[in-house]
Structure 1
Amino acid sequence: MACHQRSTSLPSLPHPAESNVEQDLQTLKAHVSSPSATIDTICDGLRRLGDLYGCVEAMMCLPSNQAVTQQRKMAEEELDRSLALIDLCNAVQESLVELKTTVQELRLVLKRGDDAAVQLKIESFVRLAKKAHKPLKKTTSKGTAEGCRVVRVMAEARETVVYLLESMLRLLPKQIDGPSASKWSLISNRFQKRKVACEERQLQALEHGMGDLGDGVELLFRRLIQSRVALLNILSS
């Protein structure tokens, strides 16, 4: 009996899966914030974040997290924020489709040697990327230090989603509109087939990367819906 009383007075330790999720979220943010981050880095981050949301779902089923029903208000608030996050991912998906189409059009005008059209498409790409960034500013990404562990982890995961999408949309304009943006323009340079072929290959790689980003955001979108459904089931049980 004494052992039983002593054991109940000790603070409960987090399940190993829970500790890993929290640590992995922090590692992921550091991973994508690196100055050397690339489209491949962001794609990998989206995939890993989707996997982590699968772990969050598993956490909800742990006996230690059944307390979520006892903190219904905080859980419901997180539920509302998760819906806003799903809408955000959907908006980003649509923006990525537009951006990919612009890259495809840029490849065509580059082949034709239409200098003015090349510049216009570059400006269009940058403008679309900046436009896609606006909804992120309206999304509440701040986590919470309160509530049961699973709610706190969900809040931190939500914050990581916004952070990752922000990193992606900041990175994309740099693929064309960086310090070496002039390399895409033929306005002040003689038309050189070798130069155009090199630029066309780079744009093809960017187009492929845009497709990978779209797939990553779509995967995350599905994971967010699954996570929201899991939380809804817990609150309705």
Structure 2
Amino acid sequence: MASYHARSNSLPSRPHPVIPEFEEQLCRLRAFEAVSSSASTSISNKLNGLEDLLDCVDRLLVLPLNQQALSEEKHQKWVDQILDGSLRLVDVCNIAKDALSQTNESNQLLQSVIRRRRSSAAEFSSEVKKFLTSRKVVKKAMHKAIDDLKAIEINPINKDNGTTAIVSMLREVQEITHTVFKSLLSFISGPKPPSKSFISNILRSNRIEEESQLNEFARVDAALKKSDSMHVENAQNQLEELELCIQDLEQGLETLFRRLIKTRVSLLNILNH
């Protein structure tokens, strides 16, 4: 990636130490996105990396030269788009948090039924149906949020038109944030089921291998759809793993949510001065 200070007159000839750090964090996030993985640790790494990237942004926004550049009239269009995009990302973050909370609540209720040894098969079956119904609602919300993100156009900036480095950097942050959130939403919703004709033509060994590659959400979905007295123990193990996964994601999202709000407030304060 080209160095930011080489293409901008807004930053000193000797780059601020946070600029190389910003570029390193951005490259790391892009590397995470380039690797396809269904592991929850992959999503957690992306959320943590995004938080570190936004921390760099916050430190860049306190620099007087960057504040002056963002307040210039010629950059108003770009800054307005960045602010609008940041609000949308805050909304998506809230949607993901609500989805995790809803899933975890259903998860805990179902685990409670399983742990009560005196629970009837009918009670267990009823709670499974409630869980799967809740998952359908969550999946629908995730797919809609993904479509909404895809509909948000992030216009590229011509770096030769005098646009300052900080504006370009903010746009790149917004772009990678969109990408990370799409990965997160897809992770929560799980993969779309293949067609029935495809399922009927694959071998059982392939199905087992395919299920082993599913993430915690999708494994629970698969376990409960075929749950009976023989599969209850397996379902409980999957639910416990999902609960730990959700706790980890909720913690990362909550921290990221606060960081997104802080960055947005910093931008608003710069424009209001």
Equivalent residue pairs, number: 223
TM-score of the two chains, using structure 1 as the length reference: 0.78
* Letter of the structure 2 residue corresponding to residue 167 of structure 1: S
Given candidates 139, 142, 161, the residue that maps to 2:154 is 142
1:53 is aligned to 54
Task: Trace 1:1-237 onto structure 2 (pairs within 5 A).
Answer: 12=13, 14-32=15-33, 34-65=35-66, 66-70=68-72, 71-111=75-115, 112=119, 113=121, 114-115=124-125, 117-119=127-129, 121-139=131-149, 140=152, 142=154, 144-146=156-158, 147-172=163-188, 173=190, 174-177=215-218, 182-187=222-227, 191-192=229-230, 195-237=231-273
1:119-152 per-residue CA deviation (whole Å, 9 max, x = no partner) reads 5523531441331331232232626324322222
Offset of residue 118 of structure 1: 2.3
* Letter of the structure 1 residue corresponding to residue 105 of structure 2: T
On the 8 A contact 2:82/2:174 being kept in 1, the answer is: no
Separation (CA, whole Å) in 1 of partners of 2:217 and 2:248: 18
1:133-187 per-residue CA deviation (whole Å, 9 max, x = no partner) reads 3123223262632432222222222222222222122123253436x95433455
2:203 is aligned to none
Separation (CA, whole Å) in 1 of partners of 2:77 and 2:23: 22
Offset of residue 117 of structure 1: 4.2
Separation (CA, whole Å) in 1 of partners of 2:14 and 2:155: 21
On the 8 A contact 2:71/2:271 being kept in 1, the answer is: yes
Query: Given the superposition, is the C-alpha separation of residues 20 and 130 from structure 1 closer, same or farther in structure 2, using an over 3 Å criterion?
Result: farther
Separation (CA, whole Å) in 2 of partners of 1:166 and 1:224: 16
Query: Which runs of 5 or more residues in structure 1 are unaligned?
Result: 1-7
Query: Given the superposition, is the C-alpha separation of residues 133 and 162 from structure 1 closer, same or farther in structure 2, using an over 3 Å criterion?
Result: farther
* Letter of the structure 2 residue corresponding to residue 138 of structure 1: D
On the 8 A contact 2:114/2:236 being kept in 1, the answer is: yes
Separation (CA, whole Å) in 2 of partners of 1:158 and 1:29: 13
Separation (CA, whole Å) in 2 of partners of 1:32 and 1:207: 25
Q: CA RMSD in A?
A: 2.9
Offset of residue 45 of structure 1: 2.1
Separation (CA, whole Å) in 1 of partners of 2:14 and 2:237: 53
TM-score of the two chains, using structure 2 as the length reference: 0.69
